[in-house]
Amino acid sequence: MTTKPGLYVWCACGQSQKQPFCDGSHGPTGMRPMFVEITEEKQIAWCTCKTSCTKPYCDGSHNK
């Protein structure tokens, strides 16, 4: 996904309806989202499976 500079809030709980970004659904889970600042436009593979070792970015863990 081409991502423009800005502050992003990555969903860490998997409950958001706006994956991979947070929509506030984490409330009852006790989990908190991750804030990510992007300083230049670039291609980013955001993790949506929540098992990546390089959160919030995809590392291919979903293939294992």
Residue pLDDT, tens place only, 44-64: 999 999 999 999 999 999 998
Determine if the peptide bond prior to 28 is cis (ω within 30°).
no
Confidence of residue 30 (pLDDT cuts 50, 70, 90): confident
User: Taking the complete model, does pTM exceed 0.75, yes or no?
Assistant: yes
Ramachandran category for residue 36: left, alpha or beta (phi over 0 → left; psi -120 to 50 → alpha):
beta
Q: What angle do CA 37, 40, 44 make, to 5 degrees?
A: 75
**What would the two tokens of residue 17 be?**
């309806």
Segments making up each domain of the chain, as ranges? 1-64
Q: State residue 29's pLDDT score.
A: 84
pLDDT (average), residues 36-42: 98
